[in-house]
Amino acid sequence: MNDGKKSHGGAKRGPSSKKSPRVTLIEGDGVGPEVIGAAISVIAATGVSIDWDRRSAGAAAMRQYGTPVPDALMESLARTRVALKGPLETQVGVGYRSINVHLRKAFDLYANLRPTVSFAGVHTPFRDVNLTVVRENTEDLYSGIEHEVAPGVVESVKVITARASTRIAKFAFDYARRMKRKSLTAIHKANIMKLSDGLFLKCARGVAKRYPDIKYSEQIVDAACMRLVTNPQSFDVLLLENLYGDIVSDLCAGLVGGLGLVPGANYGDKGAIFEAVHGTAPDIAKKNLANPIAAILSGAMLLDYLEHQREGDRIRASVGAVLRSGKTLTRDLGGKASTTAMTESIICAFART
Ligand code: ATP
């Protein structure tokens, strides 16, 4: 069970200067402004000063600038190389398959990290889950190569390269070693996709040899899903290609209480974007009902990255304390608290961390 104190950190940005770091802020669509507003308040309460460079994207930018990805946003990201981002709505027919995929590709944010831990006080059938999903972010069936071969016959191309597979495996093993995790499981379907998933596994095995301190294993994705819902405690770090990672990481969020609780980050060699796992949740947008914890914990991962890990740990401890007490829970967790009430409780809990 999460004691609320363990760092969720991925890579770090490197030595921080004394100045307030400049970070691009994208509030996003739907529940985005509410949950990102909560994350900003909690970060401010830690005392870390951040120079936020606010930029719009998605549907909000479409309304304002006529494009979901304005140049000003891309220029800001190119300058700051780090962002906190709310969920974005990708509108049909405006030239982007997915804005998130576009941003990840543009800045080569090849590693998606989702630390998924059980919290005391959150009722689910599963206890003591503590696993991290590491998902390759740039290729696989997300390459966007699709064509109609003949009427009624389409092909969607799955691209797997040795370069991308080796670098994501290295990222996952480095993460496992840094976070003192014990084992790593590569998840695949190489029994069917012998060449593509076979290459992914070959690269993972090659990297695994350099990390004898981390126990390496492999599992076929369907069997892994079964094991995740029967014995999730047996997993530690999971390494997956893009599509399996997308699906399995939402499954993992379900194990610990849902999308409102799981943070996420996308790392490249030169930058990172921190974002909650959930989408825009239009059904509860602008109602002060959204659970802000996923965004707040993504903010804690941002602080780790900016080398303010102590403050990141304090946020995690406060979130853990609020959930444990069970007094202030949003609707998705079976309570009646609003987004703002939960945010205030987390800030109040700082006094006890
Ligand atoms: P999108 O199209 O942007 O992915 P969506 O509604 O299809 O939006 P999610 O936003 O991931 O997908 O939401 C799925 C469900 O989970 C919705 O019913 C939503 O209300 C709920 N949900 C998502 N995020 C939260 C949150 N932060 N707090 C509470 N409920 C949430």
CATH class of domain segment(s) 1-110+259-353: alpha beta
Token pair 């069917």 is found at 192
Check if 110 is active-site: no
Query: Are the C-beta atoms of residues 248 and 225 closer than 8 Å to each other?
Result: yes
What are 117's strand-pairing partners?
130
Longest dimension (CA), the chain: 65
Residue 154, class by beta-carbon neighbours within 10 Å (0-12 exposed, 13-18 middle, 19+ buried)?
Answer: exposed
Q: Could you tell me how far CA 117 lies from the centroid of its own chain?
A: 13
Mapping DSSP to helix (H, G, I), strand (E, B) and coil, where does residue 186 land?
strand
Phi, psi of 298 (to 5 degrees): -65, -35
Residue 40: what pLDDT? 98
Q: Given this model, what pLDDT does residue 321 score?
A: 97
Contact, 316 vs 297, CB < 8 A?
yes
> For residue 44, what pLDDT is reported?
97
Sign, Cα dihedral of 116, 214, 205, 111: positive
Q: How far apart are CA 169 and CA 276, in angstroms?
A: 23
**Token digits of residue 32:** 């985005």
Specify the fold of 125-256.
Isopropylmalate Dehydrogenase (3.40.718)
Quote the tokens at residue 151: 């009427």
Distance, CA of 219 to CA of 262 (rounded, Å): 24
Query: Which of 146, 24, 156, 33 is closest to 89 using CA atoms?
Result: 33
Q: Which residues have a Cβ under 8 Å from the Cβ of 70 and sit 6 or more positions away? A: 55, 56, 57, 61, 64
Is 189 a catalytic site residue?
yes
- The closest-lying atom of ligand 1 relative to the alpha carbon of residue 280 is 3
C-alpha–C-alpha distance, residues 345 and 47, integer Å: 17
CB atoms within 10 A of CB 317: 20
pLDDT at position 2? 43
Provide the 10 A C-beta neighbour count for residue 311. 21
* Annotation marks residue 267 as catalytic: no
Is-contact 256 124, C-beta < 8 A? yes
Q: Which is catalytic among the residues 222, 270, 286, 336?
A: 222
Query: Ligand 1 within 6 A of 82 CB?
Result: no
Q: Where in the chain is the domain with CATH 3.40.718.10?
A: 1-110+259-353, 125-256
Helix (H, G, I), strand (E, B) or coil at 114: strand
pLDDT score for 116? 97
Which pTM value belongs to this model?
0.92
Q: Indicate if 246 belongs to the active site.
A: yes
Tokens describing residue 249: 């990481």
Q: How many CA atoms lie within 13 A of 152 on its CB side?
A: 0
Mutate to test the pocket of ligand 1, among 29, 35, 99, 259 (most ligand atoms within 8 A of CB): 259
Q: What whole-number distance in Å separates Cα of residue 200 and Cα of residue 194?
A: 10
The amino acid at 294: A
From the CB of 138, is ligand 1 less than 6 Å away? no
Residue 86: closest CA among 45, 42, 34: 34
Residue numbers of the chain with a pLDDT score lower than 50: 1-6, 15
Q: Is the CB of 280 under 6 A from ligand 1?
A: yes
User: Hey, CA dihedral for 231, 237, 242, 246, is it positive or negative?
Assistant: positive
Nearest atom, ligand 1, residue 283 CA: 20
Q: Which residues of 49-80 are buried (b: 16+ CB within 10 A; e: fewer)?
A: ebebbebbbbbbbbeeeeebbbeebbebbeeb
